[in-house]
Amino acid sequence: MYTDSDSEYCKYWVEWFTYAEGNEYFCDVDEEYILDRFNLTNLSNDVPNYLQALEMITDRLPEKALSNEEREQVERSARYLYGLIHARYIITTQGLKKMLDKFKRGDFGRCPRVYCHQNPLLPVGITDVPSQKGVKLYCCRCEDIYNPKSRRHNMIDGAFFGTSFPHMLLQVYPALKPAPSEQRYVPRIFGFKLNAIAELHRWQDEQREEQKKRLGISSTT
């Protein structure tokens, strides 16, 4: 909840939200973008208390206009609305630049796969429908996705980043994409590859069957 003590440190709601613990994946959306109604098309149909939530995000909501319970409801709506706006903003030119800076700093974490050598990750949704799946982290080296390490990051709605963002970023900044990792872990037993052992066993079985046929011995014997 947004409190008076929080406002002592953060003058603006967006600043408070992006600095709040658990919101490290978000960038700050420019106020000019938020105030452009074209950028908010159809969002009023999806967000409860839409107008008040928008006023809260843009610091235009009167301090004494709501009771504590009403303010909490508007706060939830404001978080939800900001997430939906954020998903649209980060695929704009300015939004991509801000997320690029976070990517370069490693704000989204690094790939846990050993052979990706700590390649930085990018947030991605596996659906664009809100309230369905949490955010995942995409590695552009192994081209796979992972769950965030932090429980609070696991709670972030994946639709607040969308399914297109990381791929759009790599299209605009192709130099970011590293060469695919050619190293693969190969399971072994006593130094032998498991698939090689399986092939050896199949060859031995085939040879055994051939020998039985030559000797006229039934396979069921």
pLDDT in 10s for each residue of the chain, 221 residues: 444 444 444 569 999 999 999 999 999 999 999 999 999 999 999 999 999 999 999 999 887 767 888 889 999 999 999 999 999 999 999 999 999 999 999 999 999 999 999 999 999 999 999 999 999 999 999 999 999 999 999 999 999 999 999 999 999 999 999 988 878 887 887 887 777 666 777 777 788 788 878 877 665 54
Of 127, 144, 150, 147, which Cα lies nearest the Cα of 136?
147
| Element holding 144 (H helix, E strand) | strand 144-146
Cβ atoms 112, 140 nearer than 8 A = no
Q: According to the model, what pLDDT value does residue 197 have?
A: 65
pTM of the entire structure?
0.81
Phi (first) and psi of residue 153, to 5 degrees? -75, -30
Contact 59, 12 (CB under 8 A): yes
b/e map of 141-171 (b: 16 or more CB within 10 Å)? Answer: bbeebeebeeeebeebbbbbbbeebbebbbe
What whole-number distance in Å separates Cα of residue 152 and Cα of residue 21? 8
Q: Widest CA span of the chain, in angstroms?
A: 97
3-state percent helix, strand, coil for the chain, nearest multiple of 5:
50, 10, 40
Q: Which residues pair with 146 in a beta bridge?
A: 137
Q: Is residue 125 within 8 Å of residue 161, measured between CB atoms?
A: yes
Alpha-carbon gap, residue 217 to 211, rounded angstroms: 8
Are 6 and 15 in contact, with CB atoms under 8 Å apart?
no
3-class DSSP assignment, residue 146: strand
pLDDT at site 219: 55
The Cα–Cα gap between 138 and 166 comes to: 7
Non-local CB neighbours of 181 within 8 Å, separated by 6+ positions: 113, 115, 116, 117, 141, 142
